[in-house]
Amino acid sequence: EAVSGAQLVAQALRAQNIEYMFGIVGIPVTEIAIAAQAVGIKYVGMRNEQAACYAASAVGYLTGRPGVCLVVSGPGFLHTLGGMANATINCWPLVVIGGSSDRNQETMGAFQEFPQVEAGRLYNKLSVRPSSLEVIPAVIEKAVRTSMYGRPGCCYIDIPGDFVNLQVNKSSVKYVECCLPPPISMAEHSAVSKAASVIALSKQPLLIIGKGAAYSRAENNIRKLVDLCGLPFLPTPMAKGVVPDDHPNCVAAARSTALQHADVIILLGARLNWILHFGLPPRYRQDVKVIQIDICAEELGNNVRPAATLFGDINAVTQQILEEFNKRSWKYPSNSEWWKKLRGKIKNNEERSKGLALQKSLPMNYYTVFHHIRELIPKDCILVSEGANTMDIGRTMLPNFYPRQRLDAGTFGTMGVGLGFAIAAAMVARDRTPGRRVVCIEGDSAFGFSGMEVETICRYNLPILVIVVNNNGIYTGLDANSWEEMLKLGDPAACVPPVSLLPNAHYEKIMSAFGGKGYFVTTPEELQNALKASVTDKQTPSLINVMIDPQSERKKQEFPWLTRSNL
């Protein structure tokens, strides 16, 4: 019995329990998508390979098993590089399958010929082309396994065009079973007790929870650790919700103070990179003791020499630390000077934000908008957030109560991820937690990267609520009158500020063009009504275009994005 290359790829993916494929079909991969659907894999056709790759990567983070991105040769492959790099830098499992030109035309200037395997090596843990049809299942098993084992990341498989319809006898194919779940490694006992001793001697401890902790599904153990030891904790942006943001020990509202004065920091699956200011002074104490817990040995000791290194799976190692503290019965006192300092700062910052949120002036500012969004969206919704001010202020204003329910620009700071992430989250939610809503909050500039994916949302009938926080630009914009004045000065390319976008752009019409519901809002009342209507309608995708003050800024800083202190 004969089987085609396309069928072999699809069957092998199914054998590895792959559930979702995102992509754009064309020569030579159309048959692979058809074969994937035939074996029960869900295929979502996107409008740009970059968004398809972002979507597939989010599936890997949300489910722990890679999504697949399927693309054509040459330019199709090249458009996935952003998604590959974003997945690898975020440490999310992903498999990209790219068609490539026929083998017998190599070096001849074939249609879309490009050295794809070689180009893929920079962005991937594994970049490989099967040498024959017979080995396709083994190669796919290795790619899926490699994407998940150790520190997760992206893997690329190159399928020559002539393989797709080529047939081979089933009996000669090297079929392989589904790979085993990733092995769970634990820290050595001496390191665990050393860490516990350092923590027990701390005067100003701080637990930092990273998205590695969210990925490893360590929420129950981490919550137990926070409660058992009474530790103040700070989530990194995508780790919000591992322990709920409304937990009394959350010190996110006093972030700078907590980092600057902590004498012992426990890093749970977070890296000392730009997001955490590298762990260095003046953002940290010179003598801070860092206890680092990570699944990647090479990460241990980056930027700061740790007081203890616990190498292993976050969930398993947290369990080890818990067991150690169960023996010691140590709890950090809740009436300490450190807690007084942190609570004072939290109160201060929350009152400041509240003051800004309650401003009645029009057009609205960011804080007012987020205040109303927070009041009206479901508590268990999956929040996707991207933009400059939109993402930064949204992070502080919009709480998360459950793990892995905030997706944003991530470690790589990637703009354009929003709609792909939202589509992936909605597909996964539909299958695993029906009724859970996806709310995608975009800056107007961020929305522009993949705005046409609104058609994809409508085609697959995903009840996503997209909110565009529109300030007519990147960071800041111009109001309509200033824009008109600006145009009198001559050619817009010569005189319009590089950060400007068209004022009062009606992004909501993109949604209504494809059958979803669009709302254009300028006042708090209109915003409340649009939010209520969108949340109540659980079937229809909707987009709320919220006009805010083009000059609305974070708190009271001048050019805050230049200082990076907001991150």
State the pLDDT confidence band at 554, using cuts at 50, 70 and 90. low
* CA–CA dist 46, 313 (Å, integer): 34
* CA–CA dist 271, 423 (Å, integer): 28
Q: What tens digit of pLDDT does each residue of 237-295 get?
A: 999 999 999 999 999 999 999 999 999 999 999 999 999 999 999 999 999 999 999 99
Encoded amino acid at 65, one letter: R
CATH topology of domain 359-547: Rossmann fold (3.40.50)
CATH placement of domain 189-344: 3.40.50.1220
pLDDT for 559 beyond 90: no
Count CA atoms within 13 Å of residue 46 on its CB side: 30
Question: Quick one: 266 exposed, middle or buried, by C-beta within 10 A (0-12, 13-18, 19+)?
Answer: buried
pLDDT for the residue numbered 99: 98
- Give the rounded distance of the alpha carbon of 218 from its chain centre: 18
pLDDT for 487 beyond 80: yes
- In the chain, where does the domain assigned CATH 3.40.50.970 lie? 2-172, 359-547
Q: What tens digit of pLDDT does each residue of 227-251 get?
A: 999 999 999 999 999 999 999 999 9
DSSP β-bridge partners for residue 439: 383, 465
pLDDT for the residue numbered 566: 39
pLDDT for the residue numbered 208: 98
Cis status of the peptide bond prior to 363, with omega within 30 of 0: yes
Whether the Cβ atoms of residue 131 and residue 159 lie closer than 8 Å to each other: no
CATH topology of domain 2-172: Rossmann fold (3.40.50)
State the pLDDT confidence band at 552, using cuts at 50, 70 and 90. confident
What average pLDDT does this structure show over 324-338?
96
pLDDT for 558 beyond 70: no
* CA–CA dist 69, 50 (Å, integer): 10
The crossing angle, in degrees rounded to 10, of helices 5-15 and 136-148 is 40
Q: Three-state SS string across 99-167, please?
A: EECCHHHCCCCCCCCCCHHHHHCCCCCEEECCCCHHHHHHHHHHHHHHHHCCCCCEEEEEEEHHHHHCE
- In the chain, where does the domain assigned CATH 3.40.50.1220 lie? 189-344
* CA–CA dist 466, 518 (Å, integer): 9
Count CA atoms within 13 Å of residue 88 on its CB side: 20
pLDDT for the residue numbered 182: 98
Each residue of 182-207: b (16+ CB within 10 Å) or e? Answer: beeeebeeebbbbbbebbbebebbbb
State the pLDDT confidence band at 145, using cuts at 50, 70 and 90. very high
Helices (H), 234-365: 255-261, 314-328, 337-357
Average pLDDT, the chain: 96
Instruction: Give the percent of the chain with pLDDT over 90.
Output: 97
Give Cα separations from 35 to 14, 39, 122, 320 (angstroms). Answer: 11, 7, 30, 45
Q: What tens digit of pLDDT does each residue of 38-83 get?
A: 999 999 999 999 999 999 999 999 999 999 999 999 999 999 999 9
> Which tokens in the block code for residue 272?
């000392």
pTM of the shown model: 0.97
pLDDT for the residue numbered 557: 40
Each residue of 107-120: b (16+ CB within 10 Å) or e? Answer: eeebebbbebbebb
**Unique residue bearing structure tokens 């007790």:** 193
pLDDT for the residue numbered 300: 98
